[in-house]
Chains A and B, each alone.
Chain A
Amino acid sequence: MSNILNVSPSPHQHSDDSTRKLMLGVIIALAPSLAASIYFFGTGAIIITLTSVISCVAFEYLIQKFLMKQKPSISDGSAIVTGLLLAFNVPSGLPVYILILGALFAIGIAKMSFGGLGNNPFNPAIVGRIFLLISFPVQMTTWPKPTGFHPVTADAVTGATPLGIINEGLRNGETISQLMDKVPSNLHMFFGYMGGSMGEISALAIIIGGIYLLWKRIISWHIPVSILVSMFIFTGILWLIRPEQFTDPVFQLLTGGVLLGAVFMATDYVTSPMSHKGMIIYGIGIGVMTVLIRNWGAFPEGVSFAILTMNAFTPLINMFIKPSRFGKEVKNG
């Protein structure tokens, strides 16, 4: 018996999960959306995705190696996820240099300056997107039409998002029923035939990814469901009261980044609460705030602002919303 035995405290086995495997799972879940954006936006989508992923990974590597003087941890895959999500949140025609700036901001400011993975209070991809939206409002709202690889006539190259059309129309005094003729049908939007950020347009692709995440238990239902349900209820009430001023709840859920946000952005581990109760409060906060920004704010779209705001509340939610402890309330007669 010459073996040298390891002695360590229990437990002596592990689920074999790792940050890397979880991130790989997220990347797999994002694949249908990537495929959809390439189908709808063609070469532009490929260029944007590659640029975003490569620059996010490169910035993380360079910052860790030369500024923080740490062992680079890009192999955990989190920078790839940030890169993909940032790409999915910008128009496919965005100039590449702007996107690289966005990646630098997302990784450098939002993630690494707080200490890297696990320490960032805000979702890096959303911070990157909002930085770009505020700094380059024109480029960030120039939406190429979803024509795939097919050549298009010059006047039809860009168009507004459905939310943009509604927002603009309401300001010009039009009613919802007049405006609904100008936007794609709900079925078309479900598949992704509309203008918008690269990865947010196809509800179908996002739902497939979401089901994969739930099936693999990478995320739990609490955050996406509470966002979608609270938005549905809130917009449903508004729509029932004033159908000429507010769009119907299905339209609200299918447009803008609601699904992408609910499934992939708000569920970011680091910046969302850790208990199920906390997750539901966080989700409802995002849903309600999105509706408020969309209808009464300056922007036609509000998901990313809502998520960012609730990210800020996450430490408070973690502090005050505790899981129900076993044996805390005694109900035995």
Chain B
Amino acid sequence: MFKSFPKGGIHPPENKMTAGNPIEVLPVPSAVTIPLAQHIGAPAVAIVAKGDEVKTGQLIATAKGFVSANIHSPVSGKVVKIDTTIDTTGYKQPAVFIEVSGDEWVDTIDRSQVIEKEIKLDREAIINKCMECGIVGLGGATFPTHVKMGIPAGKKCDLLIINGVECEPYLTSDHRLMLENGEEILTGVSIIMKALGVEKAIVGIEANKPDAIKSLSDLTSGFKGISIQPLKVKYPQGGEKQLIKACCNREVPSGKLPLDVNVVVQNVGTAYAVYEAVQKNKPLFERVVTVTGKHLPKPGNMKVRIGTPVSALIEAAGGMPDDTGKIVNGGPMMGKALADLDVPVTKGTSGIILFPSEESKRSEVTPCIRCGKCVTACAMGLEPWYLSAASEREMFDKTEAAKITDCMECGSCSFVCPANRPLLDYIRLGKSTVMRMIRERNTK
């Protein structure tokens, strides 16, 4: 029996068409745009100026403050301007624009294909290396990894959980990475274990990836303390709290963090990036992106330099089909719709999905029939109908009492609603308002 989380969950169609497509390397584009806010926390500060020549892997912006991340040039060429750009979130961000010439890497990066399994660095050095190389969580939240590795005083950690769930439909980038770079990932896991000082790590993988479960399980004999945990296919299995509950039966209390139950969670892609940083001295400037869609001629998994415009990925996948009605950055449940295809791939881009027009519009909203399907679907045990209705009526104190801040915005409630009600839209409004209210109360 596969493990899972106890409450709620849904079964959207998987549509993982690209699960069998090996990762292809996308050619370096002719120009890149590097937003300086690709992570949670303060945007990085550019240290290059217009006209500077940069090499692939060279530091171009430094972290501002502790919760922030360095940014490196993904290409070699010339800085043409430092300006603002619209990024995948739709907001304007400061960015470095680079015109590409050749692909000359900084010589500190070990570009050999040899898998380096022996971990030479100590705990401090590992954390420093991750900070230097600008490693952030690649599961989508892009939280700086070095911050997560440093356990604050008074907290302890005895378990590392690696998220290889990839519960979002369509996406297969983590799946392919686990199949093709299993040893590097497990070495990365060992490195994170060393940094955290834990003896045990569990890699949680949904049962719809039996090949990845098998190949990683076969590899674990070479690594101490790492086990593979197959998980039931159920969205949102990859939600941090759900994953922890499923893997080790610890329940993160409302409003608390995984560390409060002595756990740290990292994504498999992050483990791979940590391996590259620590063992190969390679900063984070490329990542695997699933480019997919039902009508896309050549969907696939591509290794892409950060800063590459989304349009180049779609071009490589055979071009945008005529009936495309929506393009989503990320998964279909939590991703963001793009308004502009010139936006660059960032550290957090796990997939680009093209939806045909008939799937891109919402159906007509009808009255709530109080069927309770949203309550059954909510993995946090909340009452989406109530939170949504109260937010719609601006009764924010009521939504706060009903723990609207526990909502992780997984979208299960909107997905199941037979009346097509925009439950999550209103819950987001309520949640952000309540969080503002809480901040204002705390600063008084």
In the complex, chain A residues whose CB is within 8 Å of the CB of B368: 118
**Hey, what's the 0/1 contact readout for B292-326 against A, CB within 8 Å counting as 1?**
00000000000000000001000000001010111
Give residues 337-384 of B contacting A (CB, 8 Å): 337-339, 341, 353, 355, 357, 359-363, 366-373, 375-376, 378-383
Complexed CA–CA distance, A113 and B311 (Å): 54
Within 8 Å by CB of B372, from A1, A118, A274, A325, lies A274
Q: Taking the nearest CB of chain B, how far is it from the CB of A269, in angstroms? A: 4
A172: interface (CB < 8 Å): no
User: Judging by beta carbons under 8 Å apart, are A118 and B369 in contact?
Assistant: yes
Q: Taking the nearest CB of chain B, how far is it from the CB of A329, in angstroms? A: 8
In the complex, chain A residues whose CB is within 8 Å of the CB of B424: 9-11
In the complex, chain A residues whose CB is within 8 Å of the CB of B332: 10-13
**Hey, what's the 0/1 contact readout for B6-38 against A, CB within 8 Å counting as 1?**
010010110000000000000000000000000
B403: interface (CB < 8 Å): yes
Complexed CA–CA distance, A322 and B376 (Å): 12
User: Judging by beta carbons under 8 Å apart, are A11 and B333 in contact?
Assistant: yes
Nearest chain A residue, comparing its CB with the CB of B412? A11
A151: interface (CB < 8 Å): no
User: Judging by beta carbons under 8 Å apart, are A14 and B363 in contact?
Assistant: yes
Q: Taking the nearest CB of chain B, how far is it from the CB of A32, in angstroms? A: 23
In the complex, chain B residues whose CB is within 8 Å of the CB of A8: 326, 337, 362
Nearest chain A residue, comparing its CB with the CB of B261? A332
User: Judging by beta carbons under 8 Å apart, are A326 and B367 in contact?
Assistant: no
A119: interface (CB < 8 Å): yes
Give residues 302-333 of A contacting B (CB, 8 Å): 322-328, 330-332
In the complex, chain A residues whose CB is within 8 Å of the CB of B328: 10, 12
Assuming the contacts A19-B419, A327-B241, A330-B251, asked whether A5 and B327 have C-beta atoms less than 8 A apart, the reply is yes
User: Judging by beta carbons under 8 Å apart, are A13 and B333 in contact?
Assistant: yes
**Hey, what's the 0/1 contact readout for A257-278 against B, CB within 8 Å counting as 1?**
0000000000001111111100
A220: interface (CB < 8 Å): yes
Assuming the contacts A19-B418, A269-B371, A273-B372, asked whether A13 and B253 have C-beta atoms less than 8 A apart, the reply is no
B238: interface (CB < 8 Å): no
Within 8 Å by CB of B338, from A5, A22, A272, A330, lies A5
Complexed CA–CA distance, A12 and B326 (Å): 9
In the complex, chain A residues whose CB is within 8 Å of the CB of B326: 5-8, 12
Complexed CA–CA distance, A13 and B293 (Å): 13
User: Judging by beta carbons under 8 Å apart, are B339 and A327 in contact?
Assistant: no
Complexed CA–CA distance, A76 and B370 (Å): 15
Within 8 Å by CB of A19, from B169, B366, B385, B403, lies B366
B397: interface (CB < 8 Å): no
**Hey, what's the 0/1 contact readout for B226-256 against A, CB within 8 Å counting as 1?**
0000000000000001000100001111111
B390: interface (CB < 8 Å): no
**Hey, what's the 0/1 contact readout for A121-164 against B, CB within 8 Å counting as 1?**
00000000000000000000000000000000000000000000
User: Judging by beta carbons under 8 Å apart, are A326 and B261 in contact?
Assistant: no
Nearest chain B residue, comparing its CB with the CB of A117? B367
User: Judging by beta carbons under 8 Å apart, are A6 and B337 in contact?
Assistant: yes
In the complex, chain A residues whose CB is within 8 Å of the CB of B355: 12
Complexed CA–CA distance, A210 and B316 (Å): 51
Within 8 Å by CB of A17, from B7, B254, B382, B418, lies B418
In the complex, chain B residues whose CB is within 8 Å of the CB of A76: 366
Assuming the contacts A118-B367, A323-B378, asked whether A6 and B253 have C-beta atoms less than 8 A apart, the reply is no
**Hey, what's the 0/1 contact readout for A66-108 against B, CB within 8 Å counting as 1?**
0000000100101000000000000000000000000000000
In the complex, chain A residues whose CB is within 8 Å of the CB of B250: 332
Complexed CA–CA distance, A326 and B403 (Å): 11
In the complex, chain B residues whose CB is within 8 Å of the CB of A22: 369, 371, 418
Number of interface residues of A (CB under 8 A): 45
Within 8 Å by CB of A18, from B169, B256, B418, B425, lies B418
User: Judging by beta carbons under 8 Å apart, are A14 and B420 in contact?
Assistant: yes
Q: Taking the nearest CB of chain B, how far is it from the CB of A218, in angstroms? A: 9
Task: Name which of A9, A117, A276 has the most chain B CB atoms within 10 A of its CB.
Answer: A9
User: Judging by beta carbons under 8 Å apart, are B425 and A9 in contact?
Assistant: yes
Assuming the contacts A10-B411, A13-B332, A19-B369, asked whether A276 and B419 have C-beta atoms less than 8 A apart, the reply is no
Q: Taking the nearest CB of chain A, how far is it from the CB of B443, in angstroms? A: 26
B428: interface (CB < 8 Å): yes
Within 8 Å by CB of B369, from A3, A117, A275, lies A117
Nearest chain A residue, comparing its CB with the CB of B249? A332
Nearest chain A residue, comparing its CB with the CB of B378? A323
Give residues 1-53 of A contacting B (CB, 8 Å): 1, 3, 5-15, 17-19, 21-22
B414: interface (CB < 8 Å): yes
User: Judging by beta carbons under 8 Å apart, are B376 and A220 in contact?
Assistant: yes
B265: interface (CB < 8 Å): no
User: Judging by beta carbons under 8 Å apart, are B253 and A330 in contact?
Assistant: yes
B334: interface (CB < 8 Å): yes
Give the top 3 A-B pairs by smallest Cβ distance, nearest first: A11-B411, A274-B372, A118-B367
Residues of B within 8 A of A (CB): 5, 7, 10, 12-13, 90, 169, 241, 245, 250-256, 261, 311, 320, 322, 324-328, 330, 332-339, 341, 353, 355, 357, 359-363, 366-373, 375-376, 378-383, 385, 403, 406, 409, 411-412, 414-420, 424-425, 428
Give 10 A-B contacts (CB < 8 Å), ordered by A residue: A5-B326, A7-B90, A9-B428, A12-B326, A12-B328, A325-B406, A327-B241, A328-B253, A330-B251, A332-B261
User: A78-B369, A276-B376 known; 16 other A-B pairs, CB under 8 Å?
Assistant: A3-B322, A5-B325, A5-B338, A5-B360, A12-B328, A15-B418, A17-B373, A19-B369, A22-B371, A117-B369, A274-B383, A274-B385, A323-B378, A326-B406, A327-B255, A332-B261
